[in-house]
Structure 1
């Protein structure tokens, strides 16, 4: 009797199935679920239907599902994975469609590019975040390329600001538009042309034009005081070009976010009526504070305070205190030329962007603020970019005892210069980046004056270092262990990089 034939007829030919294989490439995104955890951070993970044993260096609980990305350092049969939200690797094209599907979005070229750019910008790819950027993209003008507005949209997101076209436009004008001193110079030429053009202007318009000229002059005078070009009333010029504050103690950064909340793009409309002449900014304030007040950093705060005033004349008088307020009125008068109106609107947009950059981060433990300051020197005017990073204080403000300040300067004599100031428990260390051969000796000759100046405002000077100007954005990052600031290779990208999260460098999962 053929027993084997009978058994084959009953149960069929036994087929040995080959074990499932898992082929992963760098940049690929897969969905992983923790099936079981073992000791020493080992776990059994289901990845695309294949069970693998992996070592976890990121906290994942049993049953948790997350998107994982294959890292380039995978080699020798060992696959290295990281959660997609902390990975810095470009997403593989073959995975973009699946990631978009998990975000509840359609697989279109625009959404693919948006997802990739957000990932490269360090934005955590959650469903809510990606959909918020997609909604913003739908509202943006199709004439503006995506890569043009997205960096400033990321700044708005990192600072917790509303993702609206107005917010993005204001930040874009401040970050990517002409430097502040060029905007002020252009505005000066435009209003002078309007005033001397022979066109019949109403008394209101002529008063507004004159108010703009007065306020622009105040800004330039205060900018000259910052560099020691002229000593402010109440205090002599200090070594290094900074003017001594009168009636107060200077803190690192020299400026705080506008009181009463951050500015909203577009600002608060000033009341119509005959404007008062621009009044001189009160003495007794640091020159930097006078610049910010004359420009209009506190415009919305002042407008809010005036809502309940009983004196219309006082309200109009106060509304003429800032450049932003006067320019908003000038942009609305019917008899002003289109050139003046356009220049006024662009200037208001740039000032609003400055206000937004000064607003504290709403959703982070650290605050990053950026301040643009026009500096008037004997050989011309330039704009200094000051980046301030600090833990939030008890009331949400900057912590002057523990912070970092980076001064980004383009000077005619010294050239491109970065001054990196680290403050820890009111102890200050300086790291100056400059390519001039005499910079180190020049700074060393002022060491005692630097120490004395810092001591006079309650800080202890401990060290100073001079290095070449960074050729790449990552150079200053590697030297300081902090976020990237600036570099020769990408001036326009220096500011957005300040607001990106610090990359996570640890390995999360080894398979």
Structure 2
């Protein structure tokens, strides 16, 4: 079906509308035909399919075609003839007009000017010069022309950045591929603060659902091993990590804890969060490395205070008593720094307990984000991850009988965690929250949220800056390799392109976006268009609206869903190549109607269509033409 071009068809809808009224600006160049002459050099001139009464600078003949330049629009349009009429009243030479505009007569420039004339776009010397320059750096001349048309017809800022944003959207490169491309470019480069943040965010966005679930489970194992106040649970988690291959069966737990402490120490130095646990780790590692007795005493005293002031009382008293004993031995010179591996392990686990308590106050996925610092010490081979994933989705009876009861309990706890963190397709509220989270993480609503932060300085401004768009802007302001800059620019232009196409026109809104979506072991892109009237609170009216939805699925392949709502009555059209799509959907239609009734919607009809290859373009044109909002140029969707 080649539905991957759906984005292009959505943003070209204005081509299907009736001709817009002509608007003139001083300096604008138009092509026109003289229809009638009146006294005082007044004439009726046809421009495209419309007619205008204008004051001419010189007398002309009826039926002659000319290039005119608008001199003034005060009171009456005044036109200046730029070119003598062509032979037999035909269009004057485009080549001569290019010379008057001081542009070289090249094949590309001729095509550009002819495109402006054919599309009835407003021609000025400045716009033609800028457009010709931009097309030189465009990967595709035709996509470049379409980008220029969109700039002018949608009345967007006529700037190079907006042009590149539109042409990036028109290329139809999936967002997921652009994300993966930038992530790949970071490998082997010297890391910076912004590249580290981007790497973490891009990794999360490009993971499959299976990888995400395995990652959440792995984080729980690491957390149980390093921070559990239950020593038996900590040992079980460590042995589980060994049995699944993440830690060597010959590894010493004390040495692994030391490695984890070192990783946390490096991460804590670049963290901006005011975390008591994070602040202590670099002090502990540095003071122990240098053998600073006074430094160790100070650090352990701080840790002792944190443990004593544990407001929840959840930290084990044994950890506090062990820290107090080590501190007392250092003060009494019974032990001298650097501390033994056993003592450092005891101290490290107490600190990790503090970190675990702090992260428990956060929401998923934030509560697992910091624990990812420990991942590099693990052997994250494909075999280990696959083994863990298989265990998570086996029945309890299918699990190996060689596993202990504690390990069975760990697996059940991990299963519960991934249910909460995963995409819950059966829960509409959860799906909405996940998509909203993706939109915010990408930064498609960044400017709107930033404006709210400026209005409310007490808001969480830091989190708003940790989204993809501002991080890309920060990266591009730094010194980076050309490959990284190119990949980052393409991704930033892609995001901005969808933003500039989503505008607000009067009471009407139209919002187009694309986000990466993981479907178990498959990666895809979700593309949606929302159209409707704007309510008083700035949202799209749910009573009268239209939603176009596109997704490429592993079994159903490319699928377009067209949902139209009139007074809360729904008509649903589903476009798919499969001949059995109606039969596959039949068992779910009754449940769909029932669930829609619960939220006060009535499903009037469902139509399934299987387009033929030769009718692909007709199909897409029909989808666009059927839009009640096809004459609207764009919207600002309030997230």
TM-score relative to the length of structure 1:
0.56
Q: Distance in 1 between matches of 2:55 and 2:606?
A: 49
Q: Is 1:319–1:326's contact at 8 Å kept on the other side of the alignment? A: no
Contact 1:159 1:360 survives alignment (8 Å): no
In the TM superposition, 1:423-434 aligns within 5 A as 423-434=565-576
Q: How many residues align?
A: 361
Partner Cα separation in structure 1 for residue 631 and residue 515 of structure 2: 18
Q: CA offset at residue 351 of structure 1?
A: 1.8
TM-superposed CA distance for 1:462, in Å, is 0.8
- The structure 1 residue matched to 2:608, chosen from 450, 456, 466, is 466
Provide the rounded CA distance (Å) in 2 between the counterparts of 1:96 and 1:147.
24
SS, match of residue 286 in structure 1: helix
Inter-partner Cα distance in structure 1 for 2:153 and 2:509: 10
Residue 199 of structure 2 is matched in structure 1 by: 213
Residues 95 and 110 in structure 2, CA contact (< 8 A), matched pair in contact too: yes
Quote the residue 1:32 is aligned against: 35
Correspondence 1:109-188 to 2 at 5 A: 112-118=110-116, 123=119, 125=120, 128=122, 133-140=127-134, 142-144=136-138, 146-176=141-171, 178-188=173-183
Mark the CA change 1:102 to 1:500 in structure 2 (over 3 Å): closer, same or farther: farther
Give unpaired runs (5+ residues) of structure 2: 1-30, 57-61, 65-87, 217-268, 274-361, 367-420, 422-429, 635-639
8 A Cα contact 2:144 2:167, kept in partner: yes
Residue 119 of structure 1 and its aligned partner are, at CA, apart by 5.8
1:149, CA displacement in angstroms? 1.1
Hey, what's the Cα distance between the residues in 2 that align with 1:116 and 1:130? 14
Report the Cα distance in structure 1 between the residues aligned to 2:488 and 2:270, rounded to whole angstroms. 18
Residues 114 and 136 from structure 1, CA distance in 2 versus in 1: closer, same or farther, beyond 3 angstroms?
A: same
Structure 2: distance between partners of 1:322 and 1:342? 19
User: What CA deviation, in whole Å up to 9, does each residue of 1:255-306 have, x standing for no partner?
Assistant: xxxxxxxxxxxxxxxxxx9674799778987111100111112323444455
How far apart in 1 are the matches of 2:126 and 2:533?
27
Aligned equivalents of 2:509 and 2:534: distance in 1?
A: 6
Q: 1:384 aligns with which of 506, 509, 526?
A: 526
CA contact (8 A) 2:443 2:468 kept: yes
Q: Distance in 2 between matches of 1:434 and 1:480?
A: 17
- Distance change >3 Å, CA 142–CA 47, structure 1 → 2: closer
**Structure 1 residue 326 and structure 2 residue 471: aligned?**
yes
**Equivalent residues of 2:559, 2:575 under 8 A apart:** yes
- Choose 1 or 2 for highest CA Rg: 2
After TM superposition, the score normalised by the length of structure 2 is 0.46
Moved more, 110-119 or 273-282: 273-282
TM-superposed deviation, 1:388: 3.0
Check conservation: 1:405, 1:421, Cα contact below 8 A: yes
Task: Provide the C-alpha distance between the structure 1 equivalents of 2:364 and 2:489, rounded to a whole number of angstroms.
Answer: 23
Q: Is the 8 A contact 2:611 2:619 kept in 1?
A: no
C-alpha contact 1:295 1:322 (8 A) present in aligned 2: yes
Residue 141 of structure 1: how far off its partner (Å) = 5.2
Please point out which of 464, 470, 484 is paired with 1:340. Answer: 484
Distance in 2 separating the partners of 1:182 and 1:451: 36
The CA distance in 2 between the partners of 1:393 and 1:100, in whole Å, is 51
Structure 1 residue 410 corresponds to structure 2 residue 413: no
State the Cα deviation string for residues 403-432 of structure 1 (Å, max 9, x = none): 222223333322222211112122111111
> What is aligned with 2:293?
none
Cα distance 1:32–1:134, how it changes in 2: closer, same or farther (>3 A)? Answer: same
Structure with the bigger percentage of helix: 2
Aligned partner of residue 436 in structure 2, secondary structure: helix
| Distance change (3 Å), C-alpha of 1:179 and 1:293 | same
Q: Which residue of 2 aligns with 1:291?
A: 438
Is contact 1:281-1:294 (8 Å) kept? no
Query: Alpha-carbon deviations, 1:115-170, whole Å to 9, x = none?
Result: 443466xx5x26x4666742531442524354231212323333331111110111
Deviations 1:291-329 (A, max 9, x none): 011111232344445568889x975x3354201222322
Partner SS, residue 472 of structure 1 = helix
Aligned pairs for 1:358-377 (under 5 A) are 359-362=502-505, 366-377=508-519
- Classify 1:62/1:407 alpha carbon distance in 2 versus 1 (closer, same or farther; 3 Å): same
Q: Deviation digits for residues 221-275 of structure 1, max 9, x if unmatched?
A: 7x859xx999x9xxxxxxxxxxxxxxxxxxxxxxxxxxxxxxxxxxxxxxxx967
